[in-house]
Amino acid sequence: MSENLTTLLRSKTKTIKINRDLPTAIIGERINPTGRKAVLEALQAGNFDIVRKDALDQVAAGAAALDINAGVPGADEPALIQQIIRNVTEVVDAPLCIDTADPLALAAALSIYEGKALINSVNGEEHSLARVLPLAKEYGAAVIGLCMDNNGIPATAEQRFAVAARIIERATKIGIALEDVVIDPLAMAMSADSKAGRVTLDTIEMVVREFGVNISMGASNISFGMPDRKFINATYIAMAIRAGLTCPITNPLQTEVHTAILAADLSMGRDEYGMGWIKAYRKREKGKVVS
């Protein structure tokens, strides 16, 4: 089994370590206009108050890093993502995950970011590898590799592993350190395929066993189309942590999911004397963490 690698992310003033021997590093997902009408309308109007509040709330709730998405239809995404970064970094010191499919927006974001960012994301398609990996190398960023390619999302764990291996090979070939490649095995809706959850868990285990890299994913995708999603999400994220997930992109304000992450860390021996669990319990009791 490969050594568990450490991915470092930095803001101007703070460095975080992501490693399977450490508590799970939550990447807060809420600074994203997709599916959030209030955020979309605010950004369209040039109002960043919600973005700033989301940044503060997520860090207060335990997010180690923040995902930043500026996908507003019709907007100048390179300019907008820079504005979001400036507003977020004014109020929190958490490292950022730059979430965009636009290479111009990605380059614009990386050019002003003071620190070491995480890029979300690259995949196994040739055009994606050719556009994103050189930017990661140029700016010294870490990068999330999605287990999909020109043929879409593979149906089996073995096929997803092969895509992950190809991304890792291409990244390391141009000088990106292995520890700076984070793999996303892709959590798919179990409402559409009852085996989807198992395939993702098996992929995590295979990638970790072979490469020791860190693992991220949007864990809430797994419950799409199902009732009582928060309970599915909480259970699944704990199982994924056992399989090797280290930095999920999720909502730290959702009590059930955040509590499941804390319980998983405690169960895995990553919470010395249970102090993280106890601290979070006291905050919940005081009503400081809201779902």
pLDDT band of 262, cuts 50, 70, 90: very high
Average predicted confidence (pLDDT) for the chain = 96
- Residues 246 and 18: beta-carbon distance below 8 Å: yes
d(CA 213, CA 281): 31
Q: What is the pLDDT of residue 288?
A: 57
Q: What is the pLDDT of residue 291?
A: 44
Determine the average pLDDT of the residues in 192-210.
Answer: 98
Q: Is the pLDDT of residue 23 over 70?
A: yes
Give 32-37's long-range contacts (Cβ < 8 A, gap of 24+): 32/67, 32/69, 32/71, 32/99, 33/69, 33/70, 33/71, 33/72, 34/69, 34/71
pLDDT in tens, 236-246: 999 999 999 99
pLDDT in tens, 132-168: 999 999 999 999 999 999 999 999 999 999 999 999 9
3-state secondary structure of 178: helix
Domain ranges of the chain: 7-285
pLDDT band of 289, cuts 50, 70, 90: very low
Q: What is the pLDDT of residue 87?
A: 98
pLDDT band of 290, cuts 50, 70, 90: very low
pLDDT in tens, 47-76: 999 999 999 999 999 999 999 999 999 999
Residue whose token pair is 């073995």: 158
Q: What is the dihedral of CA 232, 213, 81, 131, to 10 degrees?
A: -120
Determine the average pLDDT of the residues in 111-124.
Answer: 98
d(CA 134, CA 130): 7
What is the residue-wise DSSP string for 183-223? EE-----TTT-TTHHHHHHHHHHHHHHHH---B---GGGGG
Q: What is the pLDDT of residue 2?
A: 83
In this structure, CATH architecture of domain 7-285: Alpha-Beta Barrel (3.20)
Q: Is the torsion defined by CA of 36, 220, 25, 98 positive or negative? A: negative
**pTM score of the predicted model:** 0.96
Which is nearest to 87 in space by CA: 48, 44, 40? 48
Q: What is the pLDDT of residue 180?
A: 98
